[in-house]
Amino acid sequence: MKPKLFAGLLLGGVFMSSLVEAKTERDAFYWNDQIGRGINLGNMLEGPLKKNGWGREPEIRYFDLIKEAGFDSVRMPVRWSDYADENAPYGLDAAFVKKVDGYIQAAMERKLVVILNIHHYEAVMESPDEQEARFLAIWRQLAKHYSKYPQALYFEVLNEPTQKLTAERWNELQKKAVSEIRQTNPERPILIAPIGWNRIDKLKQLEPPKTKNLIASVHFYEPFKFTHQGAGWVKLDLPLGTEWAGNETDRREIEADFEEAVRWSEENNIPIHVGEFGAYSKADMPSRIRWTRFVREQAEHNRMSWSYWEFSSSFGVYDPNGNTWRTDLLNALIPAK
């Protein structure tokens, strides 16, 4: 990754920061390099907090831990749809926005790049025509609110578009959302997604908006029977005990997927961010470590930034009960010096 220099100050209560790198052309590949090695704050702000659901609050100390461990960025999934009015003009809950502002500021004060997305907006996937105006209004408000924030804050249009968001419908809606963002954020890096849970094999159906500083975000959980074994939310029957040996066949299957992403990237001149990858805690730890290390190596070998899923929940690299990193899993992500 290229070296980075951050500068920050507090001015009128608004955190201002900048990324500076001399004599470097700041194209999309530059901005993707700045993401570097990242981690998701999963099962936190994307949980249905307003309804006393499974989400929990991040802790400011987490940002210290993440920075000290050697990560460059945090991906911040947020269930904004729970905090927007149901009727026009679809106003966002000011108190919740202020809370998110505090987390963004905390990350940036620790010189971490932040990816902010719309996560778990199920209604827009189930009824895109009915929800389009609300979805775009949420982005209009977020874009305006964060327009003065530094370029170290990235926007991601929507996490894992699926259901009735067909390729045609999603391409249309994503372009409209990017257009809304560009009204107030002409230079900000924006992460766009293919349909089908951000799958690599759906990249070929993605029509990128015609604007600069775009990064394509893909998610990687293959082989699914290994990474999601025992996961209660998965409808498929994925029995426990599936190992990932990391033999030549295992490695080649993953390499082929990454090669497909590289081809798309080269054809479209758009860099790739692996926005999520991880193996559920029901898999055996030696297999999780082997798989995580190999996927991370593939991403870096192909000049892809990445964000591990996730910090401290069911895929977590950090044990919140023991207040300690799962060291071998962390070393698979950030090799010990």
State pLDDT tens for residues 39-73: 999 999 998 866 666 678 899 999 999 999 999 99
Residue 182 pLDDT greater than 50, yes or no: yes
Strand, coil or helix: 305: strand
> To which residue do tokens 């990193």 refer?
325
Is pLDDT larger for residue 220 or for residue 9? 220
Position 25 scores a pLDDT of 67
| Cα–Cα distance measured from residue 122 to residue 127, given in angstroms and rounded to the nearest whole number | 9
Residue 135 burial class via C-beta count within 10 angstroms: exposed 0-12, middle 13-18, buried 19 and up = buried
Percentage with pLDDT > 70 across the chain: 91
Indicate if the pLDDT at residue 323 is higher than 60.
yes
Mean pLDDT across the chain, nearest whole number? Answer: 92
Measured in degrees and rounded to the nearest 5, phi and psi for residue 317 equal -90, -10
User: Is the pLDDT assigned to residue 13 strictly greater than 60?
Assistant: no
Q: How far apart are CA 317 and CA 40, in angstroms?
A: 10
* Amino acid in the structure at residue 50: K
What percentage of the chain carries pLDDT values higher than 90? 87
Contact 211, 189 (CB under 8 A): no
Mean pLDDT across the stretch 5-22? 34
Instruction: Using alpha carbons only, give the angle 35, 38, 41 rounded to the nearest 5 degrees.
Output: 125
pLDDT at position 232 is 86
Q: Are 272 and 302 in contact (CB under 8 A)?
A: yes
At residue 12 the predicted structure's pLDDT band, cuts being 50, 70 and 90, is very low
Look at the chain and count its residues: 337
Tokens 């990237």 belong to residue: 265
Parallel/antiparallel/unpaired status of strands 113-117 and 37-40: unpaired
What are residue 186's phi and psi, to 5 degrees? -70, -20
pLDDT of residue 42: 96
pLDDT of amino acid 49: 67
Residue 50, pLDDT score? 60
Q: Please name the CATH architecture into which domain 27-333 falls.
A: Alpha-Beta Barrel (3.20)
Tell me what the mean pLDDT of segment 101-118 comes to. Answer: 98
Q: State the pLDDT at residue 56.
A: 81
Lowest-confidence segment of 22-26, 87-91, 169-173 by average pLDDT: 22-26
DSSP secondary structure code for residue 307 in this structure:
E
Cα separation, 247 vs 204, whole angstroms: 29
Alpha-carbon span 198 to 3, nearest angstrom: 29
- Whether 242 shows a pLDDT value over 70: the answer reads yes
pLDDT value at 112 more than 70: yes
Give 282: exposed, middle or buried? Use CB within 10 Å, 0-12, 13-18, 19+.
Answer: middle
- Mean pLDDT is lowest, of 19-33, 74-88, 205-219, for 19-33
Tokens 């990017």, residue located? 178
User: Residues near 114 by Cβ (< 8 Å), separated by ≥ 6?
Assistant: 73, 74, 75, 76, 104, 107, 108, 152, 153, 154
pLDDT reading at 247 higher than 80: yes
This model's pTM is above 0.85: yes
Beta strand spans in the chain (E): 5-11, 14-20, 37-40, 73-76, 113-117, 153-156, 190-192, 214-220, 272-277, 305-308, 318-319, 324-325
Report d(CA 320, CA 283) in Å as an integer: 19
Distance from C-alpha of 203 to C-alpha of 183, rounded to nearest angstrom: 26
Q: What is the pLDDT of residue 136?
A: 98
Query: What pLDDT shows up at residue 95?
Result: 96
Query: Residue 336: its pLDDT value, please?
Result: 86
Mean per-residue pLDDT for 26-31? 97
For residue range 138-163, what is the model confidence (pLDDT) as tens digits? 999 999 999 999 999 999 999 999 99
| Inter-CA distances, 282 with 130, 132, 225, 277, Å | 39, 38, 12, 15
Strand, helix or coil at 66? helix
Give residue-wise pLDDT tens across range 255-305: 999 999 999 999 999 999 999 999 999 999 999 999 999 999 999 999 999
